[in-house]
Amino acid sequence: MTVELEVICVGNELLIGKTMNTNANWLGKQATNLGTNVKRITVVQDSVNEIATTICEALLRKPQFIITTGGLGPTFDDKTLEGIAKALNRKLEINQKALAMVKEKCEEYAKKRQLSTTIEMTAPRVKMAKLPEKTEPIKNPIGTAPGVRVDVQGLVLFALPGVPLEMEAIFIETITPLLKQAVGDEVFCERSMFVDKMIESNLSPLIDKVMSDNKSVYIKSHVCGEFLKSHSIRVENKPHIEIHLTITAEEKEKSAEKLLKTMKELASLVEANGGLAIFEE
């Protein structure tokens, strides 16, 4: 059974090109390697309405998991929990468990800085503990703002912080085991090979043939940048098309064998048509 997952990244900085969306890339890779099918990544502005709408749309598509990143911090533009509350028609309320987590982090911080004053639970700090009703805070091993787990309509939504190290830590600690369990024995395998002396439009029918012979394997060709940077002139001895082969199946060893068999088949076809195929056994 395919386990579908969607990622929603909240943050103007991602839309205006100030910040590269490394979070989406990292999550996509992790979730795929764990055997889930990452169906969609959506990036939206720091706006309660935009966040709420995007979550409602994702819920309608019924993936098993939704992961949001960003918007959990103490500043006015951190609006993800308000957006989730609106999407689910739930109230935001101070969650005592979350409040204790925030407090502990603030005290740790004061101790590290050797501040003698007790850290006051100001409105911005309390804000990080205001969760939609009936949700669970998740301990943030690195930063202050807790993550949030929401069980809704038979799926699980996780709200993670936008700071990469915090997001990654919570994903590894809390989400990875859950995805593994949901996926069961499915594993994801991938291999790359390279083709030179052949343009993509000549390679295309060969890929079609090999894919129809190896139905479980997905093959995608990528024209490499180096080739194009030299103004469409092939750089001698540099492979210019990467062929990426992927499979998600139950047995790791058999999957690896299937990928190798498929690569060999494609390599023979490429060479029979005057191209050069480069891959490791």
- Looking at beta carbons only, is 111 or 133 nearer to a copy of itself? 111
- Looking at beta carbons only, is 90 or 202 nearer to a copy of itself? 202
- Looking at beta carbons only, is 121 or 133 nearer to a copy of itself? 121
In degrees rounded to 5, what are phi and psi of residue 51?
Answer: -65, -45
Cβ 58 to a copy of itself shortest distance, Å: 11
Q: Are 269 and 262 in contact (CB under 8 A)?
A: no
Cβ 222 to a copy of itself shortest distance, Å: 7
Cβ 40 to a copy of itself shortest distance, Å: 6
Cβ 134 to a copy of itself shortest distance, Å: 26
Structure tokens at 281: 């056994």
Please state, in angstroms and rounded to a whole number, the distance separating the CA atoms of residues 242 and 265. Answer: 16
- Looking at beta carbons only, is 56 or 268 nearer to a copy of itself? 56
The enclosing H or E element of 69 equals: strand 65-69
Q: Are 95 and 130 in contact (CB under 8 A)?
A: yes
- Looking at beta carbons only, is 42 or 174 nearer to a copy of itself? 42
Cβ 142 to a copy of itself shortest distance, Å: 6
Sign of CA dihedral 218, 224, 225, 230: negative
- Which amino acid, one-letter code, is at 50? E
Please state, in angstroms and rounded to a whole number, the distance separating the CA atoms of residues 162 and 249. Answer: 32
- 266: closest CA among 226, 220, 233, 227? 220
